[in-house]
Amino acid sequence: MARNAHLLEVRNLRTSFFTEEGEVKAVNDVSYHLDEGEVIAIVGESGCGKSITQLSVMQLVQSPPGRILGGEVIFSGQSLLQYKPTSREMRAVRGAGIAMIFQEPMTSLNPVLTVGQQLSEVIMVHARLSKKDAWKRGIAALEAVGIPDPAARMKNYPFEMSGGMRQRVMIATAVACNSKVLIADEPTTALDVTTQAQVMELLLDLVRRHGKSLIIITHNLGLVSRYAQRVYVMYAGKVVETGTTEQLLTDPKHPYTQGLLNSMPKLEGSKDDDLVPIEGSPPRLSNLPDQCTFLKRCPAAQTRCAESVFPDMRPVGSPGHSAACHLFGMSASTGVRG
């Protein structure tokens, strides 16, 4: 297969979970791309499919009940979904090609093994080094992510480290394997503000110094504004808007994106100002409507929205800015709720 123009390209990806309640469409026709040296963000509420999309890319979806039903994942010119999840080809991609930094390192790290045992094991598998050389590379990786006295820390158990240190260990695993793509799943969850900034600056430094590419999965739009170049906004298993960070923060088009921004506290606002929540709840993924999935929560919904199927992504302004919404070209001033 010829090398693709993008380092990673996901096309029309669909992943469902089959439960007693029926088919849960967790990832419903999702497409995005990532270029070399680029930082993108995938944003949305909990349960919108952000993490499952990335687990599908790496074929780490638990089956049963999960199953990748269709779409394409092209990485460095390779079509990944042609390989079985346990195949040698997919094992070679994980870690060495694409590394995922999971949301909670305490549950990702084995509590009964030292950091050095876990780190060196990953290095031996992906870099095919001896135990002695893998241990040395592990020390170098911990040093690269700013962990003091890395040789001593290799002998620590995860519970002996702070949350920020454990997150750095997860990042060190990607550094040690020289992964091209880093996927950071809510990388700053449960960390204090200072540690959040340190972790994000570390990830950005890896991108700059080593030419890596980074996908940030988050519901925190503050992270997006500072670190990402482009953003994909997801809602109920679908991408509903995409564009550069500046486009989405200064001129959001989709009512859901507008709602996310309006619900954020403003630095220039008064402490007495009320936040503006998005009314209602997301639809059940096991019972999705044929219409726009944001219809019942949308303050600008019109009759056409209720009568039409889910809209395709369409250009909504400057180049690269697209949204899946029926409202463009229509007046939203006389909208009716669906």
237-257 pLDDT, tens digit per residue, is 999 999 999 999 999 999 999
Summarised one tens digit per residue, pLDDT across range 278-304 is: 888 899 998 888 889 999 999 988 888
249 SS3 class:
helix
187-220: b (≥16 Cβ within 10 Å) or e: bbeebeeebbebbbebbbebbeeeebbbbbbbeb
Summarised one tens digit per residue, pLDDT across range 84-135 is: 999 989 988 988 899 888 877 667 788 999 999 999 998 888 778 899 999 9
Q: What is the pLDDT of residue 201?
A: 87
Summarised one tens digit per residue, pLDDT across range 65-83 is: 999 999 999 999 999 999 9
Q: What is the pLDDT of residue 202?
A: 84
* Distance between CA atoms of residues 74 and 81, nearest Å: 8
Q: How many CB atoms lie within 10 A of CB 55?
A: 21
| pLDDT higher than 70, residue 185 | yes
Q: Enter the tokens of residue 13.
A: 């990806």
Local confidence band at 25 (pLDDT 50, 70, 90 cut-offs): very high
Closest residue by Cα to residue 225 from 196, 199, 249: 249
| pLDDT higher than 60, residue 3 | no
| pLDDT higher than 50, residue 144 | yes
Chain centroid to Cα 99, Å, comes to 12
Alpha helix (H) residue ranges in 115-274: 115-127, 131-144, 150-153, 163-177, 193-210, 221-227, 245-250, 255-262
Strand partners, 41: 216, 231
Q: What is the pLDDT of residue 329?
A: 55
Residues 67, 275 contacting (CB under 8 angstroms): no
Residues 73, 81 contacting (CB under 8 angstroms): yes
